[in-house]
A and B are shown apart, each in its own frame.
Chain A
């Protein structure tokens, strides 16, 4: 079972270690499973770096209260899609190999590797990543603020829903209000539809900027950039 702590306790942990802190959303954790088919294999390596940095006390890896439930809900679908994509690769390789043989050529790749066998590895890494995160305990004030944000249709909510995204954002805001020591404090989301403004060339949406105004927390929409931000800070602190 992953560790669950209140925002006040998490703030105290971060203050004690002065480590950078990274809060991740559901699509981030599922990116680990999707990394190969989305042509972003580095995500698996970065996930391992985050885990190791957290275990070494150099980074505080944190998850909103809805993450476990949301990841569980989407798990079977994402795993199934990853397996299908991997099987497509296997089948394509078989077709190429047979075409080469029929054409009288020589196919040098003879190893019988099933790309689908990668998926359990990625699922296992996804589970380890979730288990490493310290999960925020839900609190009534954040639930109420998230409900208000969703009902008022302020991002990350959109018409028809987004209450979970709002809870995630409100928990991040609460954390940002009480952890002045975290340097930096980053929210990593790979869900640009809800957090950015398409009509302004993908800039962070005004509702999100307003929500973070005057706080130390910052939004990051990319794994690589998040890694640069928090891992560089972690390394610098360890020198």
Chain B
């Protein structure tokens, strides 16, 4: 079952969010100590995992563990430092109870960490944090011309035949060419998800279109480069 929801007037898709922490001059080690003390609501720092990462060559690392939360699965959250930007980033969250977390679970764990740990450190020190990217909105991410062509194709096309009708094919190719001209970074997986979750295409047709998109973009790139 696919999940989509409305944000304003656009249908958007869920994705895994990004959480970054601006240290504003605080060292990662000092931040780790403060966060360890501040952690609440089931969050604790797991120094043993940090040591494991050091042993396996993982570099500077902060691991936090969530346990006993009433609604969220137990999880490990990993922060790593980017010296160039003076920031920490959440590299990943994994759960011993799941092979993969859902978008909702992942994002709720991020929010929980932000509220139960980061907000408490922020209250005492001049750090800041930013939680973003929990939605994919192609109408905002693609250039207007490209998005309009994609939308026109999707609305007008015969859903049973994909891009095979001559008129549908023309609109589809217009979109491919516009994507290439604007060198958009839309990947085929996201396109397929958008077609299914936002536009209501059958997944089989969406996969076929995504393959055509991938091949078409590759071909146009080669043509441009030659």
Contact = CB atoms under 8 A, between A and B. Distances in A.
Interface of A: 70, 144-145, 147-148, 150-153, 157-164, 193, 198-199, 201-202
Interface string B95-111: 10011111101100000
A236 B121 CA distance: 65
A198 B214 contact: yes
B91 A152 contact: yes
Contacts of B172: none
13 contacts: A70-B99, A147-B52, A148-B52, A151-B61, A151-B63, A152-B53, A152-B80, A157-B92, A159-B106, A160-B93, A160-B94, A163-B99, A201-B218
Interface in B152-180: none
Nearest to A153: B92
Contacts of A161: 94-95, 98-101
Contacts of A151: 49, 53, 58, 61, 63, 76, 78, 91-92, 94
Contacts of B139: none
Contact of B53 (A148, A157, A159, A201): A148
Contacts of B93: 159-160
A101 to B, nearest CB: 28
A160 B100 contact: yes
The dominant DSSP class at the A interface is: helix
Scoring A144, A147, A151, A199 by chain B CB atoms within 10 A of each residue's CB, the highest score goes to A151
Given A144-B55, A151-B63, A162-B100, A198 B189 contact: yes
B204 interface: no
A150 B94 contact: yes
Please provide the 5 A-B residue pairs with the shortest distance between their CB atoms, ordered closest to farther. A161-B100, A160-B101, A159-B16, A148-B56, A153-B92
A198 B106 contact: no
Contacts of B185: 199
A198 B190 CA distance: 10
A198 B188 contact: yes
A150 B92 contact: yes
B141 to A, nearest CB: 15
Contacts of B78: 151-152
Contacts of B102: 160
Contacts of B61: 151
A201 to B, nearest CB: 5
Contacts of B55: 144
A148 B58 contact: yes
B214 A201 contact: yes
Nearest to B210: A198
Contacts of B57: 148
Nearest to A146: B56
Contacts of A148: 52-53, 56-58
Contacts of B91: 151-153
Scoring A161, A164, A193, A202 by chain B CB atoms within 10 A of each residue's CB, the highest score goes to A161
Interface in B48-106: 49, 52-53, 55-58, 61, 63, 76, 78, 80, 91-95, 98-103, 105-106
B124 to A, nearest CB: 27
B92 A152 contact: yes
A126 to B, nearest CB: 20
A160 B189 contact: no
Interface string B116-133: 000000000000000000
